[in-house]
Amino acid sequence: MKKLNRLTLRERAAALCFLAPSLAGFAVFYIIPFGRSILYSFQAGLDGDSLTLANYESLFQSASFLKAAANTFRFTAIGVPLLVVLSLALALFLNQRAFFRNWLRTAYVLPLVVPVASIVLVWQIMFDWNGALNALLGRFGYDRIDWMKSDWASLVIILIYVWKNIGYNVVLFLAGLQNIPEQYYEIADLEGASPARKLFGITLTYLTPTAFLVVLMSVLNSFKVFRETYLVAGDYPHDSIYTLQHYMNNMFLSLDIQKLSAASTLMALCILVLVTVLFRSERVFRNFME
């Protein structure tokens, strides 16, 4: 028993030695800066010793912050369900013996490996005032639309978000679909189950753990859409796509570190709450299934 404990301690020590460089880098570049950011959010100045809630109060009194927060959560509320539903539909289609199935699988994964700058260039060419889509509208006698300077801008960003992330979600759903035993469908066919019954009774039921993971990744990726939005629309985009990331970027440019820290802390707290709710929901569903 002592020898076993000695081996276990030796293995733990070896594991810690291998993990130490990664843990040190993660602490230096992520944990410590974020901890300092939380501390700054409660200070009146960078050299202030007293803690205060004035930075958070000023955020909730700021019209630009409230607009950015509302736009961010509206984008997540619309973009995530749309992305999940489209990903599931495509995964179900590609899981069948569809024509050009392998080619389509490759096509949906390509956005993951294409650089963001190249993606943005394509969308700029598409939705610019003198872009391809307006040229097409002109050929059919319609007036041109200023896509990125109107309410259409939010639709464009949602399309970019869906196009960028749909391939990854399709891969996850396909992996989940292929893990469902084929015997379940054979038994359902013998019992005369309808396609809808098999979809809701077998496919979606056993795909639920994968769906929770897809929703979680989609929510996290919805908060990373700033790069595309910034490159397409710049520092101060249309009001409908002015998000929390834009607000924090502008606070950084103006060196308002306290407001930047407070906004980032609130955003991290909201993400933590969403992730916790998803994990709790997945655990409740798993216990119900068992």
Residue 290: predicted pLDDT: 58
pLDDT in the model for residue 41 = 82
Q: Looking at residue 91, which CATH number applies to its domain?
A: 1.10.3720.10
SS3 43: strand
pLDDT tops 80 at residue 3: no
What is the chain's length? 290
Domain residue limits at 166: 63-289
pTM of the entire structure? 0.82
The beta-carbon contacts of 83-87 under 8 Å, at least 24 apart in sequence, are 83/161, 83/162, 83/165, 83/166, 83/169, 83/218, 84/169, 84/211, 84/214, 84/215, 84/218, 86/162, 86/166, 87/166, 87/169, 87/170, 87/172, 87/173, 87/214
Share of the chain above pLDDT 70, in %: 91
Q: What is the pLDDT of residue 83?
A: 93
pLDDT in tens, 194-243: 888 887 877 888 888 888 889 988 998 888 888 778 878 777 788 888 88
User: Quick check: is 191 in a domain?
Assistant: yes
Residue 39 lies in a domain: no
Portion of the chain with pLDDT greater than 90, in percent: 5
pLDDT on residue 80? 92
Question: Within the chain, how many helices (H) and strands (E) appear?
Answer: 15, 0
Split into its structural domains, the chain has a count of 1
Q: Mean of the pLDDT values across residues 95-120? A: 71
For 121-126, the CB contacts below 8 A with 24+ separation are: 123/156, 123/160, 123/228, 123/232, 124/232
Mean residue pLDDT across the chain: 82
Residue 100 has pLDDT above 70, yes or no: no
Token look-up 């897809």 returns 214
In a domain, 115, yes or no: yes
Structural domain contains residue 20: no
Q: How confident is the model at residue 27 (pLDDT cuts 50, 70, 90)?
A: confident
Whether 13 is in a domain gets the answer no
pLDDT at 122: 81
Note whether residue 38 is domain-resident: no
Separation of alpha carbons 127 and 227, rounded Å: 17
Query: Which residue carries 């109107």 as its tokens?
Result: 150
| pLDDT tens column, 42-73 | 877 666 667 778 888 888 888 888 998 899 88
Look at residue 201 and tell me if it is in a domain. yes
SS3 of residue 24 by DSSP: helix
Place of tokens 């978000």: 161
Structural domain contains residue 265:
yes
With CA atoms as reference, report the closest residue to 119 among 217, 230, 238, 221. Answer: 230
